Amino acid sequence: MPRQLSYQDMQDLIAGAIVLGCGGGGDPAMAEAMVDEVFAQGKEFILLDPKELQPEDWVCILGHVGGGIEPKEREMIKDLPRVWPVPILVAEEELAKYLEVEFQAYLPSEIGAGNTVTPMYVAAMRGKAVIDGDAAGGRAKPELIISTTHLMGIPVTPLALANNFGDTMILKNSSSDDRVEKICRYLARVSGGRVAAARCPSQGKGILPAVYPRSISMAIRAGQIIREEKEKAIEALIKLFKGSKRFAGQVESFSREEKDGFMWGEIILRGSSEFSGEFYKIWYKNENLISWKGNQLDMTCPDAIIILDARTGNGLYNWGDQFYPGREVTVVGLPAAPFWNDPRAYQIFGPSHFGFDFPPKPMQLGHG
């Protein structure tokens, strides 16, 4: 049976999704505002198990594409009026109109605070359900092209895009998912850093091969653990995720550059306790993707690199000022979903995709 989520469930979801967002995954403040609006209007968040999807149901993936933009791109929109406060509703509506269908359920593009709550918000406003799963393997990732739909050959188009400033686009078709990523990214860059996207429309069970199941429930459980276990939360999260502790220490430095529709940077940690005298470096592009302990490669995408507050177990987000010098943190590694661990998948979500000249180092194959 579909599950109705309480306000506490949604608060736990946001906390857990920040953890699984690997430093990205969309704005938690936006997620909080969406949750508050749904409950203020007396509407409901309904979670649907993937097995309960009906053959006649139309489904699409909803989320945002974006990241950092340069000052000259901010200048483009500084005087523009905001026409649509919630453009994801417009994107969903435009795609439904174009296809002449009514969507019955929605799928998150990834697990992360903003991009998981976004389709749940649309579902609540439309009186529909969100599928308990995602299209990234239970984590967040930096590009639209990094998707289970890409792996499974599910067409990304037709696709609808909308921003706050009254711009909409229907992309009927494209030569490749890579071209779609570039088009969406450019529109995000001239839209203040973010654009809403409705994509991969599918009827019935056609979307199911791309669904990583029950990851929303997993995020809710992670949030419950953080709330209930307190100082024991990190140990409990590692057990829940079947992950491993990679490092513990203090933030030494944090750098961030916003360009090309992404945020890029490095996080340097100085070890404490059993890691005293060691240093740990994490490279991120929106999400944490590659890490080194000293001069040795430690973790690579598609495995998930998560940074937690050492005292509370809360996940840390790469936007804002959470990585201040001296903050005590713990790095946890999670093995990637099995479908990411093959040569074709590595081309989409391995180190070489981001310009590195070394192969992936999968945790589940003896490296963690």
In this structure, are residues 46 and 10 in contact, taking their beta carbons and an 8 Å threshold?
no
CA distance 318 to 327: 14
> Collapsing DSSP states into helix, strand and coil, what is residue 317?
coil
Q: What angle do CA 203, 206, 212 make, to 5 degrees?
A: 120
CA distance 257 to 265: 6
In this structure, are residues 134 and 215 in contact, taking their beta carbons and an 8 Å threshold?
yes
CA distance 143 to 106: 19
In sequence order, the 6+-apart residues with CB closer than 8 A to the CB of 177 are 144, 145, 147, 150, 156
* Contacts of the segment 152-155: beta carbons below 8 A, 24+ positions apart: 152/209, 152/210, 154/200, 154/202, 154/206, 154/207, 154/209, 154/210, 155/200
CA distance 40 to 244: 40
> Collapsing DSSP states into helix, strand and coil, what is residue 290?
strand
In this structure, are residues 330 and 236 in contact, taking their beta carbons and an 8 Å threshold?
no
Which CATH number describes the domain made up of 231-360? 2.40.390.10
Which CATH number describes the domain made up of 3-213? 3.40.1610.10
Tens-binned pLDDT, residue by residue, of the chain (368 aa): 899 999 999 999 999 999 999 999 999 999 999 999 999 999 999 999 999 999 999 999 999 999 888 999 999 999 999 999 999 999 999 999 999 999 999 999 999 999 999 999 999 999 999 999 999 999 999 999 999 999 999 999 999 999 999 999 999 999 999 999 999 999 999 999 999 999 999 998 899 999 999 999 999 999 999 999 999 999 999 999 999 999 999 999 999 999 999 999 999 999 999 999 999 999 999 999 999 999 999 999 999 999 999 999 999 999 989 999 999 999 999 999 999 999 999 999 999 999 999 999 999 643 33
Domains of the chain, residue spans: 3-213, 231-360
Q: Are 3-213 and 231-360 equal in CATH topology? A: no
DSSP states of 171-184 as a string? E---S-HHHHHHHH
